[in-house]
Structure 1
Amino acid sequence: MNLPTASRPKRLIMNLNLLTPKRMKISGYYHLLALLAVHAVSGCTSSDSTESGQKKIPKQGVKPSYRIMTVSRKPVGQTVQLPGEFQAYQEVTIYPRATGFVERVLVDRGSAVRKGQVLMVLDAPETEERLAAARSNTLKTKAMLVASREHYRRLVASNQVPGSVSALDLETAQARVQADSASMLGEEANYRAMAKLKSYLRVVAPFDGYITERNVHPGALVGSGAKQDLPMMILQQQNRLRLVVDVPEAYSSQLREGQVLTFSVSAMPGKTFTGKISRRSGSMNKQFRSETVEIDVANKDRSLRPGMFAEIIVSAAGTPGALAVPTSAIVASTEGQYVIKVEDGRARKVDVRRGQASGDMIEVFGDLRPTDQVIINAREDIKEGIAVR
């Protein structure tokens, strides 16, 4: 049934009222989902088109670049600093050679002494008595020897008359002379020994130097029978010192006796000293593979002291005839050390042994010639026999 025209606006209003807020929210939600779906599809399409565009661009392979140089005979000189220690030119620890009590100590720590100077006097009364007894026995045996010789001389004179002296008496007198002579020699040796022992009661300096340690005082018992953990004194010659340095095997062969070396002392910054190589051990230390070298240093003003440390500068000229390559040309792997030689346009590994190094150059020893070419940016992944351009 057709409604009147006047009632149409009301119907329109009624239809609009059907769009409640709830239905409007649902409609907006579906609209948002539709927009997100369209965006995702367009993004995937764009991404696929980009990837397909990238796949169309072919990848170009990068050829490795090798740097090649000719092996040279360039001398690899090197200057190294080696630690050394000053020692007294002569040093002696003075222990008692006779048993006794310390009577007088004539020097102390820091005293300058001369050779033969008395440092200490010991007291041992029993030594004096034994010396007197030895002297008495010596005189006694001398008198007995004189008497036996005179008796034998008279028997020999009497024997000029046949039958006046028996042969047994003559032989007995001769044997008596020999026995008395032997006794006298023994007593004289004993007397000299006791006299020497008495001289040990006066301790004298064996050379010129300085007393650096004193461990006894008057009244102390010293000698072989007493417990002596420390020496009575220590004497050092300090006007001349020994600078002892251990030179590694790689550099010792280039040093020569009489060579002048420069050194510095950490206790005296800014000062440099010189000295000549005076002695070499001539053998290598098995533990450190080094040779001990001694440098004599004059020290009249005693500015240097035994026990100080020094830094010795040693210049090594390099091994004569050795070949040199950059350090980057040596490859160290589990297979060993080698360089990569370029031979007829192909890579070939050559085992080498390192020598002295200076800066970025190093000596190598192996199957190489001065005209050979090697790769100086060598790597372990470079295979044997690959083409090198």
Structure 2
Amino acid sequence: MKKITLLSSAALSLLLLYSCGEEKKEAPAAPETKTETFDLQKQKMSSEIRLPAELQGFKQTDIYAKVSSFVKELKVDIGSQVKAGQLLIVLEAPEISSQLAAAESRLHSAEAVYMATNATYNRILETSKVEGTISKNDLDIALSRKSSDYAQLQAAKAAHREIQVMQSYLQIHAPFDGVISARNVNTGAYVGPAGAGSTLPLFTIQDQQKLRLAVSVPELYTAYLGDAEEISFKVTPLPNDKFTAKIARRSGALDTRLRSERVEMDVVNTNKKLLPGMVAEVILPLNAKDSTYVVPKTAVVSSAERIYVVTVQDNKFKRTGIVKGREYGDNIEIYSDSLKVNQKLVKAANEEMRNGDPANN
């Protein structure tokens, strides 16, 4: 038993000595990670944005009735191809016919009165050439009566023309070549410039041979658009087709609600594949006019205080405030007066890199 006890004690002592030796050994130091940097360079960044847009008829108008009347005859229907000046609808208003007859009667009466007074004046004028036969006062009275009757005749003519114009409104013609895209009345319906008959237009006519593509471009991208620049677009019903058009018009001002500029393109649509009202996806190329600083997105830090990049100067970190520009893929434009070409920037910056901290290069 004594031998076993001695052996156990010796084993325990050796184990304790081994453990103490292990504790005294220092753990291996972790390898220092190097801060990856790159040289800042300028380049012209080319990118694109996709924006929703709407196709509209190049010419489009709603046609209403000018006078209160009833629909007598419809000459066209939805989908009808019409030419400029073609008769679309015939209206009827019996009271206008009565007014026209009364105006014609007043016109004939005024013409007869004027012819009589004019003849009288001419006779008196001819007689007055013989001295002492007609007094100057009688001649002036005849001239005044003639002038008054002439004025009445002109008023009667104007009233007659007015009723004629009102009657011409009973026949409505197409203002331009196009397609009837909507019809909201039937034969016998009451129509007019006001009241129940004016709620909806009689017809809607569109020029579909040429379409207008309108898109609102955000303020940030308006400077990259060029006049007559060619753009491409797609529509959902034709996913395999890609269409092109050139910028034709720009509003030159920003919409105060959307903070965007309205840009329009003219689209030739002779094959009728595109329809007014379609929603399109416009692909706008954004080609920079001047070179700018372009860095990886990982180099930009957006903190609660500001947006900055981390530069390396004298082997120390320094935060430099910037303004972000366009983003494309993994790169982003930045603007700052404090940066210079070939300056070293940290590729993967973070908020733990503070001013003056050593950089492990």
Q: TM-score, normalised by structure 1?
A: 0.81
Contact 1:83 1:311 in 2 (8 A): yes
Q: Answer yes or no: is the 8 Å Cα contact 2:178–2:205 preserved in 1.
A: yes
Cα separation, 1, equivalents of 2:295 and 2:194 = 68
Select the residue among 333, 350, 361 that pairs with 1:379. Answer: 350
Quickly say closer, same or farther: Cα 1:59–1:288, change in 2 above 3 A. Answer: farther
Tell me how far 1:199 sits from its aligned partner.
0.8
What letter corresponds to residue 308 of structure 1 in structure 2?
Answer: M
Q: Structure 1, residues 192-213: CA drift from partner, whole Å, max 9, x if none?
A: 1111111111111111111111
Aligned counterparts of 1:226 and 1:51: Cα–Cα separation in 2: 105
Classify 1:194/1:57 alpha carbon distance in 2 versus 1 (closer, same or farther; 3 Å).
same
Partner-residue secondary structure (3-state), 2:102: helix
Is the 2:212–2:265 Cα contact (8 Å) retained in structure 1?
A: yes
- Within the alignment, does 1:287 sit opposite 2:257 as a pair? yes
Q: Which amino acid aligns with 2:353?
A: I
- Give the Cα–Cα distance (whole angstroms) in 1 for the partners of residues 300 and 144 of structure 2: 90
1:166 shift after superposition: 3.9
Deviation, structure 1 residue 346: 3.3
Letter in 1 for 2:270: K
- Hey, what does 2:161 align to over in structure 1? 192
Distance 1:316 1:264 in 2: 18
Instruction: Report how far residue 319 of structure 1 moved.
Output: 4.8
* 2:222 corresponds to: 252
Please tell me whether Structure 1 or Structure 2 has the larger radius of gyration of its CA atoms. Answer: 1
Instruction: Report the counterpart of residue 3 of structure 2 in structure 1.
Output: none
Partners of 1:290 and 1:275 in 2: how far apart? 20
Match of 2:7 in 1: none
Correspondence for 2:152: 183
What residue is the counterpart of 1:205 in the other structure? 174
Change (3 A) 1:345 1:121: same
AA aligned opposite 2:181: T
Matched, 1:101 2:70: yes
The answer for the alignment partner of 1:20 in structure 2 is none
The answer (yes or no) to whether the contact 1:76–1:361 under 8 Å persists in 2 is no
Matching residue of 1:272: 242
Q: How does 1:1-389 map to 2 (within 5 A)?
A: 54=23, 57=26, 60=29, 65-161=34-130, 164-227=133-196, 228-367=198-337, 368-389=339-360
Q: Is the 8 A contact 1:276 1:296 kept in 2?
A: yes
Secondary structure of the structure 2 residue equivalent to 1:271: strand
Write out per-residue CA displacement over residues 146-189 of structure 1, whole angstroms, 9 at most, x where no aligned residue. 33333333344444455544444333333323322222222211
Partners in 2 of 1:92 and 1:184 — Cα distance? 39
What's the CA shift for 1:107? Answer: 1.2
Detail structure 1 runs of 4+ shifted over 4 Å in the superposition: 49-56, 58-64, 161-164
Larger mean CA deviation between 197-206 and 259-268 belongs to 259-268
Change (3 A) 1:64 1:145: farther
SS of match in other structure, 1:382: coil
Give the aligned residue type for 2:255.
N
Please state how far the C-alpha of 1:52 moved relative to its aligned partner.
Answer: 9.8
Change (3 A) 1:349 1:134: same
User: In structure 2, what is the Cα distance between the partners aligned to 1:136 and 1:191?
Assistant: 9
CA gap of 1:51–1:212, structure 2 versus 1, over 3 A, is farther
DSSP 3-state at the match of 2:109:
helix
Task: Tell me how far apart the structure 1 counterparts of residues 31 and 130 of structure 2 sit (CA, whole Å).
Answer: 133
Distance in 2 (CA, whole Å) between partners of 1:294 and 1:67 is 46
Alignment match, 2:4 = none
After superposition, give the CA deviation of every residue in 1:194-241 in whole Å (9 maximum; x if it has no partner): 111111111111111111111111111111354132111111111111
Kindly, what percent of the aligned residue pairs are identical?
34
Aligned residue pairs, count: 346
Paired letter, 1:231 = P
> Aligned AA for 1:311?
E
Say which SS state the counterpart of residue 294 (structure 1) adopts: strand
| Change in 2 beyond 3 A, CA 1:358/1:225 | closer
Most deviating of 308-317 and 192-201 = 308-317
Distance 1:250 1:55, change over 3 A: farther
Return 5+ residue gaps in structure 2 as ranges: 1-11
2:8 corresponds to which residue? none
Amino acid at match of 2:336: G
Q: Distance in 2 between matches of 1:226 and 1:337?
A: 60
Q: TM-score, normalised by structure 2?
A: 0.86
RMSD: 2.7
Alpha-carbon distance in structure 2 between the residues aligned to 1:75 and 1:281: 27
Deviation readout 1:318-365 (Å, 9 max, x if unpaired) = 351211111111111121111122234333322211111222221111
1:25-65 CA deviation, whole Å, 9 max, x = no partner?
xxxxxxxxxxxxxxxxxx9xx99x96996587378587563
Structure 2 counterpart SS, 1:110: coil
Deviates more, 1:271-280 or 1:249-258: 249-258
Kindly indicate whether the alpha-carbon contact (under 8 Å) linking 2:45 and 2:291 is maintained by their aligned counterparts in 1: no
